[in-house]
Chain A
Amino acid sequence: MVRSGFVTPELDTRWFDPARLNVLIGILLFTAFLVVNIFRARAKGTLYVRPIAGLKALDEAIGRATEMGRPVLYVPGLSDMSEVGTFAAITICARLAYRVAEMGCDIDVPCYDPVVMTVLDGAVREAYSKAGKPDAFRPGCVHYVSAQQMAYVAAVNGFMLRELPAANIYMGSFYAESLLLAETGARTGAIQIAGTDKVTQLPFFVCACDYTLLGEELFAASAYLGREPIQLATVIAQDWAKALAAAAIVGALVLSALGHPALQTWLKVA
């Protein structure tokens, strides 16, 4: 449609786009993997997930903070609820808050996004209740700072230098601020554990933190900490999906080398 020189795209009102059939099949397959593994996890009681080094250090970090009488700083990343990393950050924060409540130290969670703050506030409050210490929850420990990236960094860096948290935990989606935060944290001598799904920011955390959860380890972490069947099942389902993806790549390469590029073409999304 052309009006006054501007092109307005036509609204696609179809319920189903046949060009994206492969995406639908992918989602259905992953859902099937998930359901099968949930049943497996319920039948067995648990499923094996390999240990992740950074997670073992979380208890050490909380213990250190308790001994030193200083808070644990939890930075949940700079994204909103549209990022999968934010969901993982919320789950890990809830587990961490439970351990913090059990051990009786303090936690501080500065937030970038107001909606994430609201969800985190509920998660931390609930963790304190689950730990049997609802009165120990300090209102305001989960607080909004700024939705402007560098203003947020300035405030959190200032907090690190003034309050000297014993442990800095960075989990979620991070961008250019990752090195600024982790470098300042390293200067204060705090034990630092990071995890992000943003591959471009991982090198900075690897350099400046004591432990780093690489990419998908962030998602596995929440399942590993909780040991709940449904969450463990999601990790195993992802492994099955990865195995299928690897097989699809090798299969497509071999078939196209033999003159049958059908699988390779099918993998392309319009």
Chain B
Amino acid sequence: MTLQTWIAAFLTLCVFSFLYKDNPFYRFAEHLFVGAAAGYLLAVQWQNVLIPNVWTPLLHDHKLVVLIPLALGLMMLARAWDKGAGIARWSLAFYVGIYSGVAIPGYMQAQIFAQLADAAKPFAPGWGAVNSALVLVGLLTVLAYFFFSAPHKGVHGAGARVGIYFLMVAFGASFGYTVMARVSLLIARVQFLLRDWLHVLPGP
């Protein structure tokens, strides 16, 4: 049994102790986790972002255009000083503007038109038509629920009520599916403790 296994088992038990209540062991694991993650992410940013995108192009390839994003990034740090908030806003405006511009056509294509095209497919033959009809009714009534400019009254209200039932059925199915996945994660951790650490279970 290696030292790593003992450390992993100890930290697993520290995190599980949270089920009882907050305690120094959980706090130790929490702070270690946050600290290790910060250090790891800093190293990843340095290796995968700053060196290939700033250091190498600027110092080896002499691409001065890199100075623009570098300056925008440094301007973001100006927020650390009270008077620098206005400077940081320029970088943020650029960043938010770029992301909005990229996101809007992408959303329209991937989220709206892709779903419209799927929803408008012809009904399946035979008993499959019942399934297609259910999908269509579900879609239209859920859309009715998400209408905000009219109160949920009359026909619209009845449609919205049916829509909320469709939503709840979908949520229930999704909940069950995810809980199963979480239980399998727990089983994997318990297997690690009983097999790799305590050797109570036979090996795979």
Which A residues contact B (CB, under 8 angstroms)?
20, 22-23, 26-27, 30, 47-50, 52, 80-84, 115, 118-119, 121-122, 125, 145-148, 150-152, 154-155, 157-158, 161-162, 179, 199-200, 202-204, 206-207, 214-217, 220, 235-236, 238-239, 242-243, 245-246, 248-250, 252-253, 256-257, 261, 263-264, 267-269
A157 partner residues in chain B, CB cutoff 8 A: 18, 30
Nearest residue in A to B105 (C-beta to C-beta)?
A23
A30 partner residues in chain B, CB cutoff 8 A: 108
Which B residues contact A (CB, under 8 angstroms)?
15, 18, 21-22, 26-27, 29-30, 33-34, 36-38, 40-41, 76, 79, 85, 88-89, 92, 95-96, 99, 102-105, 107-109, 112-114, 116-117, 119-123, 136, 139-140, 143, 146-152, 167, 170-172, 174-175, 178, 182
Q: A26 to B148, Cβ gap below 8 A? A: no
**What is the total of A-B residue contacts with beta carbons within 8 Å?**
162
CA distance A81 to B15 in the complex (A): 31
Q: A264 to B113, Cβ gap below 8 A? A: no
Contact partner of A246 (CB less than 8 A), chosen from B114, B121, B140, is B140
Nearest residue in A to B121 (C-beta to C-beta)?
A264
Q: B33 to A257, Cβ gap below 8 A? A: no
CA distance A242 to B116 in the complex (A): 11
Query: Contacts A154-B15, A154-B29, A162-B22; is A84 near B107 (CB within 8 Å)?
Result: yes
Q: B140 to A151, Cβ gap below 8 A? A: no
Query: Contacts A23-B108, A246-B140; is A267 near B148 (CB within 8 Å)?
Result: no
Query: Contacts A23-B105, A148-B41, A154-B29; is A115 near B95 (CB within 8 Å)?
Result: yes
Query: Contacts A27-B108, A121-B79, A203-B172; is A248 near B116 (CB within 8 Å)?
Result: yes
Q: A151 to B178, Cβ gap below 8 A? A: no
CA distance A266 to B32 in the complex (A): 54
Q: A253 to B149, Cβ gap below 8 A? A: no
B151 partner residues in chain A, CB cutoff 8 A: 50
CA distance A261 to B120 in the complex (A): 10
Nearest residue in A to B115 (C-beta to C-beta)?
A245
Q: B149 to A147, Cβ gap below 8 A? A: no
Q: Can you list the 4 inter-chain pairs with the closest CB atoms, starting with the nearest?
A: A148-B37, A252-B120, A203-B175, A151-B37
List 19 interface pairs A-B (beta carbons < 8 Å), by A numbering.
A26-B112, A27-B104, A50-B151, A80-B99, A82-B102, A84-B103, A115-B92, A122-B89, A146-B34, A146-B41, A155-B30, A157-B18, A158-B26, A158-B30, A199-B174, A217-B146, A235-B149, A242-B146, A263-B120
